[in-house]
Amino acid sequence: MPAAHPQPLWQQRYGSADAPSAEPGNALIEQLLAHRSVRAYLDQPLPDGTLETLLAAAQSAATSSNLQAWSLLAVEDRQRKARLAALANDQAHIVQAPLFLVWLADFSRAARLAERHGRELQAVEYLDSLLVGGLDAALAAQNAVLAAEALGLGTVYIGALRNNLQAVIDELQLPPLVFPVFGLCVGYPDPSRPAAIKPRLPQSVVLHRETYRLDEQEPRRLDDYDRQVDAFYRAQGLENPPWSRQVIDRLASVDSLHGRERLAQVLHRQRLALR
């Protein structure tokens, strides 16, 4: 995938202003820099063993206290994918992708283990455990994303799976102490609708050294970034609002949570994050 880019990868990732002179010169890092979310897939099945390969990559990620407090639910049934898509903002790529992975924070396995040993698990009710399970699931998922990209596949995360969380839990028949953190579409990218590398914020506004210090150039650099993302959208034929407005709109009102404002109640029903 990283081969044959019109511009050097650093330049695509940051724009010409911020690009250092040399490319990383490392195949894995080049693959990381070439990441893009894929929202158009071919109607082509995945080779046998792909799921197992992605899972092995995922399970190779670091995991907090080696708890391995996550599970993976693989959905290939078209009807089930369609029902999940309907619950996740009608995103067509969920149905189109041959494989839809649901990444679960999962303390139910530990609870079953404890029960066999006649013990209770008080710590799983605390917010930190939800973070641990969510972080474990995210690290695992990102490893699977990288493995998929290395195999020439494309992916896109589906956070909208939390929009109708209770319905998703019911559809997937998730027991207590299990929480779907997000979904992930996996499939062969449709070459007729290619995705491009989306520019990121300049390193200078993201990186702090030793202590958190505001860069007085931040407003100017964010305005520059807005212009850069505008140019990116135009090149993609997209008419999106500027990046800064997207950020503000996404966070300004509860409406933009699209149902996720009810997360705490659903989590409590799952016996998670009670305190």
Ligand X SMILES: Cc1cc2nc3c(=O)[nH]c(=O)nc-3n(C[C@H](O)[C@H](O)[C@H](O)COP(=O)(O)O)c2cc1C
- Calculate helix-pair angle for 243-252, 218-235, nearest 10 degrees: 100
- Beta carbon of residue 30, minimum distance to ligand X (angstroms, whole number): 15
120-121-122 Cα angle (round to 5): 110
- Beta carbon of residue 185, minimum distance to ligand X (angstroms, whole number): 9
- Beta carbon of residue 219, minimum distance to ligand X (angstroms, whole number): 23
- Beta carbon of residue 209, minimum distance to ligand X (angstroms, whole number): 25
Positions touching ligand X (CB under 6 A) are 35-37, 39, 91, 156-160, 182, 198
Residues 230-268 as b/e (b if ≥16 CB within 10 A, e otherwise) read eebbeeeeeeeeebeeeeeeeeeeeeeeebbeeeeebbe
Residue 186 near residue 100 (C-beta atoms within 8 A): yes
Q: How many residues are recorded in the chain? A: 275
Report the residue number whose CB is nearest to ligand X: 159
- Beta carbon of residue 49, minimum distance to ligand X (angstroms, whole number): 26
Residues pairing with 70 in the sheet: 105
Based on CB atoms, which residue is closest to ligand X, 114 or 138? 138
Based on CB atoms, which residue is closest to ligand X, 39 or 81? 39
> Is residue 229 exposed (0-12), middle (13-18) or buried (19+ Cβ within 10 Å)?
buried
Residues pairing with 186 in the sheet: 99, 155
Tally the C-alpha atoms within 13 A of residue 33's C-alpha that lie toward its C-beta. Answer: 21
Based on CB atoms, which residue is closest to ligand X, 32 or 274? 32
Nearest to 14 by CA among 219, 203, 244, 206: 203
Based on CB atoms, which residue is closest to ligand X, 129 or 163? 163
- Looking at 67-182, list the stretches that DSSP marks H as alpha helix, in order from N- to C-terminal side: 78-87, 92-96, 108-116, 127-150, 165-171
Based on CB atoms, which residue is closest to ligand X, 31 or 114? 31
Based on CB atoms, which residue is closest to ligand X, 158 or 186? 158
- Beta carbon of residue 163, minimum distance to ligand X (angstroms, whole number): 9
- Beta carbon of residue 125, minimum distance to ligand X (angstroms, whole number): 24
Residue 206 near residue 229 (C-beta atoms within 8 A): no
Region of 237 (left: φ > 0; alpha: ψ -120 to 50; beta: rest) is left
Based on CB atoms, which residue is closest to ligand X, 36 or 221? 36
